[in-house]
Amino acid sequence: MPKLGLGTWRMLGEDCTRIALQALELGYRHLDTATAYDNEAAVGKALAQTDIPREQLHVTTKVWWDKLEPQAMRQSLDASRKALGDDCLDLFLIHWPGNTAQGWSLERSIETLVALREEGKARQIGVANFNVAQLTRAVVEMGAPLSVLQVEYHVLLGQQALLDFTRQRGMVLTAYTPLARGQGAETETVQRIAKKHGVLPSQVALGWVLEQDGVAAIPKSNSAVNQQSNLDALKVKLDDEDRAAIAALRKDVRIVNPDFAPVWD
């Protein structure tokens, strides 16, 4: 999976197709969508229209948390495959854990996820927004071959417990909201580091995420200028002094926290 992908949340219809094609032309090879974003068909159109061979591209999609029963999950995946025009998805994620009080069984959902992979409907499987206890049940207790954990991660939110887990298990942690929607670049520390290296503050914020082992990132941008700038963040070289300064920033800014979120680590 390419380290940098394009997040597509809030991109819809023809705009979404155009923005995804623009990103592919600039060099993006990884697109992040979900049934909940209502844009899989638009992303599918971009995949159909681009000249880039499909095998050079990586597409992630996700099943929403009210579709985690076996039958519903299967139907969701089939609908995603149809919308994206793919026989086999690159990466299929559970978007959020379900609600145990409403009868959600983590084990049943993970069993279904694993079965879908074994049936060849998804090359890789994973989860988003799981906490360490939920990951432990899925990966350690059930032995599920999860490749990816997607969670919020940026210069203002620490995720050490999850990073320790994913690194130990050879999983990739994909950082969503990796720019903290601009808040990372607004800090004095990040601005000072950017000035020192002659790059943009957003590139320092994103570069810090991208330089980490076992971490990928999926910033969202509609604009070609910002998409290119985010690609260039792959080349940013931070030093130990920069890393220490970023490590000292507050790490409790959580931007995505809906009422159905799990207890965070």
CB of 131 vs ligand NAP, minimal distance in Å: 13
| Token pair 């990073």 in the structure block, residue | 163
Is the sign of the CA dihedral 14, 19, 24, 25 positive or negative? positive
Asked if residues 199 and 236 have their Cβ atoms less than 8 Å apart, the reply is yes
CB-based contacts of 130, cutoff 8 Å, min separation 6: 94, 97, 138, 149, 151, 262
Does 13 bind ligand NAP (CB under 6 A)? Our answer is no
Using rule CB under 6 A, residue 187 touches ligand NAP: no
Cα→Cα distances 61→30, 57, 147, 202, Å? 11, 13, 14, 26
Q: Which listed residue (114, 229, 243, 251) binds ligand NAP by CB under 6 A?
A: 229
Contact flag: residue 223 with ligand NAP (CB under 6 A): yes
Residue 8 sits in the site that holds ligand NAP (CB under 6 A): yes
Q: Please select the residue that binds ligand NAP; options are 13, 182, 195, 196, rule is CB under 6 A.
A: 182
Interaction of residue 135 with ligand NAP, rule CB under 6 A: no
Tokens in use for 246? 């970023």
Among 66-74, 157-165, 186-194, 223-231, which window interacts with ligand NAP (CB under 6 A)?
223-231
Q: Is 23 in the site for ligand NAP (CB under 6 A)?
A: no
Is position 208 an interface residue for ligand NAP (rule: CB under 6 A)?
no
DSSP string, 96-140: S---GGGT--HHHHHHHHHHHHHTTSEEEEEEES--HHHHIIIII
Query: CB-based contacts of 259: which residues, under 8 Å, 6+ apart?
Result: none
Residue nearest ligand NAP, Cβ-based: 7
- The only residue of 45, 81, 117, 220 in contact with ligand NAP, by rule CB under 6 A: 220
For residue 89, the SS3 value is strand
Rounded Cα distance, 9 and 2, in Å = 19
Among 50, 131, 189, 226, binds ligand NAP (CB under 6 A): 226
Active site residue 153: no
CA 147 remoteness from chain centre: 12
Q: Does 173 bind ligand NAP (CB under 6 A)?
A: no
| Interaction of residue 35 with ligand NAP, rule CB under 6 A | no
Q: Identify the residue among 73, 77, 219, 231 touching ligand NAP (CB under 6 A).
A: 219
Q: Which is nearer to ligand NAP, 110 or 216 (CB)?
A: 216
Single residue of 44, 126, 178, 207 touching ligand NAP by CB under 6 A: 178
Tokens 């300064």 correspond to 245
Which residues are tagged catalytic?
37
- Residues in contact with ligand NAP by the rule CB under 6 A: 7-9, 32, 95, 128-129, 150, 176-182, 202, 218-223, 226, 229-230, 256
